[in-house]
Structure formats: C-alpha cells, structure tokens
Amino acid sequence: MFARRMVATKTRFRRTLAVLRAPAALAALALCVSALTACGFHLAGSTGPWPTVLARPYLSLKDPYTDFSREFERRIKAAGAELQPVAAGATATIAVSKDFLEQRTLSVSASNIPTEYLLIYTVTFSVRGPDKELLAPQTLTLQQDYSFAENVVLAKQHEADILREQMARDLAGIAMRRLSSLK
C-alpha cells in the first residue's frame, strides 16, 4: 500500500513539474527570439526590407541565361518585387550591363600543361528611376582559383562549374544588399 502511495505521489509530482516547465520553456524561447531580433539578427540570405521604389522593377539583362542573371532574377522575385515585362510600367529599371566570366591560367607544369586556373566573375549593374539615377553603375568582381589535373578532367570541370555557380550566388547576394539600401 505504501508503495502504491509513493508511485502516485511521484506521478503527481512529475505532472506538476511538466506543467511548470512548459511555461518556463516558452518564456525562455520568447526571450531568445526577442534578443535575436533586437540585436539586428537576420537569417542568412535575407536582405532586409525591400525598397518601395523597387516594388515593380523592370530587369534589363545583357544575357538572361547566365548563372548570375538567373540567380539575380530569382532573388528579386523572392524579395517580393513584381518584375515588369516592359520598362514603361515599371517603378525603376535595374540594368545589368556587364556579366562576364573569365578563366586565366595561373600556373603550368614543366611540360607546359596548366595546373592551376583563376576564375574571375565580373558584374556591373545600375538602377534608374522614372526621373533620375537611383544607383550609379556598380561593378562587382569575385575571384576564385582551383587546381587542374589532366587525369581527372571531368571532375575538375565539375569543380569549375560549382565554383562558377557559387560565385554567381555570392554576386547576386551582394547586389541584393546594395539594392536593399535604396530608399
């Protein structure tokens, strides 16, 4: 009988603790969330509030099929902008005048075979409002080197493709942060 009473008491005690722990855990979670937002924390990839002047932009791309162009357009749409098909109905025009990827040889072997390359991705863009220039031409450049071995050509080409795509994502992120600073 005493054992049953002890089990019942332990069970009630555990239930009471569970009820007390739930509000404490919620309060701790709320405190952490408010502290993170108060210090200016943003999730990776978020650029902050999108400027109203870019609510309905026209995107003028030199080549719409490059890695940068596709990523830049995707991020603009994700920011909440409604891309316009023609410049006439747009609140602003975002013009990408340069989107260029260059590959240079950094080093060669004794038998004159390249062993290291440098990828250079350069993008230039500007923003023009209906009556004035909102953002002067901005040139962004990223560089990345990678080694090359002729016995694993396919793997090294795949590595170069991955680096190119990552550089395009990084450049699009930098451009988005510059655009989000417009008022």
Confidence (pLDDT) at 53: 86
Question: Could you say which architecture CATH assigns to the domain 52-180?
Answer: 2-Layer Sandwich (3.30)
Q: Which of the four pLDDT bands, split at 50, 70 and 90, describes residue 14?
A: low
C-alpha gyration radius of the chain: 27
| 5-14: average pLDDT | 64
pLDDT value for 113: 87
Cα distances (angstroms) measured from residue 61 to each of 65, 73, 124, 126: 9, 9, 11, 11
What are phi and psi for residue 53, nearest 5 degrees? -65, -20
Question: Contact 163/149 with Cβ under 8 angstroms?
Answer: no
Residue 49, pLDDT score: 73
Q: What percent of the chain has pLDDT over 90?
A: 51
Say if residue 29's pLDDT is above 60. Answer: yes
pLDDT in tens, 126-167: 999 988 999 999 999 999 999 888 888 898 889 999 999 999
Report how far residue 56's alpha carbon sits from residue 62's, in angstroms, rounded to the nearest whole number. 19
